[in-house]
Amino acid sequence: MPIHHLKPTMQMAYVKTMLQIVGRGLVTANEVDIEIKNEFATLPVGFTFTMNVFSQGPSFTIQIQENHHLLLLSKPQQKSDLTITFKHLSFAYMVLSFQESTAQAFANDRMIADGDLSYAVRLVRCLNKMEAIILPKAVASLAVKEYPSDLVLKEKVSHASKIYLKIAQSFLKRS
């Protein structure tokens, strides 16, 4: 659905939900996928990153733990080492509803990265791989710059089912 057809309150609810899914998905994908795990293993312990919508919009923050597991922080105590910010709610909606890829959103100046750019590139690679795993190929091809050619169906289904199960469990624990 084009962005002008959805009311801002509905966009906000959608973006808030999707950011929670993305945050929880990254935490889980780090446990399931070796490529994502290797990317996060290069980040320093204690490193935090946030993805948010400009000016007090929905967000998630993740911290790298001692064992290179990821922890979703409920109330971050300090400024993140890397913050990726959507400049407007409608821009976040476009990306999170797969109308525009993350790479295209950066190119169109709809997102900004505050922090080390090499870390932002790693994070975007992790986001792309996670999206390729959990989304149907037709949707993932819209969401990522390049769909991974080495992602075989068996691996995709196995990893996706584990990620979805853990995301669902994390929402149930919170309730």
At 75-123, the pLDDT tens digits run 888 899 999 999 999 999 999 998 888 888 989 999 999 999 999 999 9
pLDDT for residue 51: 96
Would residue 111 count as lying in a domain? yes
Confidence label for 4 from pLDDT (cuts 50, 70 and 90): low
CA distance linking residue 144 with residue 142, whole number of Å: 6
* Residue 78 structural domain: 3-168
Please give the tally of structural domains in the chain. 1
Mean pLDDT over 61-72 rounds to 95
The answer, yes or no, to whether residue 165 has pLDDT greater than 80, is: yes
Q: How confident is the model at residue 1 (pLDDT cuts 50, 70, 90)?
A: very low
In a domain, 15, yes or no: yes
| 20's tokens | 């929670």
- Summarised one tens digit per residue, pLDDT across range 130-143 is 999 999 999 998 88
Q: What is the structure's pLDDT at 81?
A: 97
Model pTM? 0.89
CATH number, residue 108: 3.30.1050
Domain assignment of residue 65, yes or no: yes
In a domain, 95, yes or no: yes
Does residue 144 have a pLDDT over 60?
A: yes
Whether the per-residue pLDDT at 27 is higher than 50: the answer is yes
CA 110, 116, 120, 121 dihedral sign is positive
Average pLDDT value over all residues in the chain: 91
Which H or E run contains 71? strand 70-73
C-beta atoms surrounding 63 within 10 Å: 17
Q: Is residue 24 part of a domain?
A: yes
- Once rounded to an integer, what is the mean pLDDT over residues 21-49? 96
- Domain-located, residue 19: yes
Residue 160 lies in a domain: yes
Domain assignment present for 155: yes
